Amino acid sequence: MSSESYLVIGGCGFLGRHIVEQLLERGESQVSVFDIVQRHFDSNVTFFIGDLSKAEDVQNALQKSQATVVIHTASPAHGMGRAIYEKVNVEGTRTLLEECQSTTSKVKKLVYTSSGGVIYSGEEDITNVDERVDYPSKPLDAYNETKVSAEKMVLKANNDNFKTCSIRPAGIFGPGDRQMISGFYNVVKNGQTKWQIGDNTNLGDFTYVGNVAYAHLLASDKLSEIYPYSNLRDPISSINISLG
């Protein structure tokens, strides 16, 4: 348990819900959720229903929750049109960063959920890389392009008074999943299992949702500590963590 006040953006989603539950399980007494839709009801959590791309909604949640730590997991699901990604991932994240840094805000730390897809162009395999690998010149699709833009804004915003961090999960599985298993099920149901792309040696990363959620808690805890490699010639000012 800490003295922090947590606001989980997208806290009614698959990953966001696990983060909320882990915060409550470890005894945090100040946990709030901001989401466009309410799917959960807890007596010890304050829910703010609003749109991330609307400054007044975000401002209201930050002020009323008195948040000191923001964990930003909100995004439209993969496979939708560019406009909604631009609105939520780019404009929404920009709005959130601005409001977190406004004079009335108490936010000191922000953890952003990015995606492993930000470094994948779809044209070449990626093997044994870490977070130092560059973004591809051509992003895989609009979803990943806007996740790159959001991630860059989040990392650029990092400073001594407002610490930021970006986490890049690959595929996430576990209880509460609304995308992956239903997608696999539809493939089977539609008889689409008779095709094979590649020679069956390609690998992909999948991480259990509880571990991804735990990584967000650890990242938010560690953000207040001094970065251990600050004596490097070209110190990394903000941290990207890839999960796989």
Q: Is 122 left (phi over 0), alpha (psi -120 to 50) or beta?
A: left
Given the complex with ligand NAD, which of 37 and 197 has the nearer CB atom?
Answer: 37
x/- letters, 191..210, toward ligand NAD (CB under 6 A):
--------------------
- 14 sits near ligand NAD (criterion: CB under 6 A): yes
| Site stretch for ligand NAD (CB under 6 A), options 25-33, 71-79, 99-107, 119-127 | 71-79
| Site stretch for ligand NAD (CB under 6 A), options 49-57, 193-201, 223-231, 232-240 | 49-57
- 73 sits near ligand NAD (criterion: CB under 6 A): yes
Catalytic residue flag (residue 147) = yes
- 10 sits near ligand NAD (criterion: CB under 6 A): yes
Task: Enumerate residues 6+ apart whose C-beta is below 8 A from 87.
Answer: 53
Alpha helices per DSSP H over the chain: 14-25, 55-65, 82-85, 93-100, 142-156, 180-189, 209-222
Q: Return the bridge partners of 173, or none.
A: 208
CA–CA–CA angle 91, 162, 61 (5° rounding): 55
Find the shortest distance in angstroms from Cβ 101 to ligand NAD.
Answer: 19
- 82 sits near ligand NAD (criterion: CB under 6 A): no
- 51 sits near ligand NAD (criterion: CB under 6 A): yes
Question: Which residue number places its CB atom closest to ligand NAD?
Answer: 13
- 221 sits near ligand NAD (criterion: CB under 6 A): no
Given the complex with ligand NAD, which of 52 and 217 has the nearer CB atom?
Answer: 52
Residues 151 to 180 in contact with ligand NAD, rule: CB under 6 A: 169, 171-172, 178-180
DSSP run (H or E) holding 172 = strand 171-173
**How many secondary structure helices (H) and strands (E) does the chain include?**
7, 9
Q: What is the C-alpha separation between 80 and 65, in angstroms, rounded? A: 31
Exposure string over 214-236, b if 16+ CB within 10 A, otherwise e = ebbbebbebbeeeeeeeeeeeee
| Catalytic residue selected from 87, 147, 152, 163 | 147
- 12 sits near ligand NAD (criterion: CB under 6 A): yes
Find the shortest distance in angstroms from Cβ 231 to ligand NAD.
Answer: 33
Sign, CA torsion 115/154/163/134: positive
For the purposes of burial, counting CB atoms within 10 Å of the CB of 121, is it exposed (0-12), middle (13-18) or buried (19 or more)?
Answer: middle
Given the complex with ligand NAD, which of 13 and 139 has the nearer CB atom?
Answer: 13
- List interacting residues with ligand NAD (CB under 6 A): 10, 12-16, 35-37, 51-53, 73-77, 88, 92, 113, 115, 169, 171-172, 178-180
Active site amino acids = 147
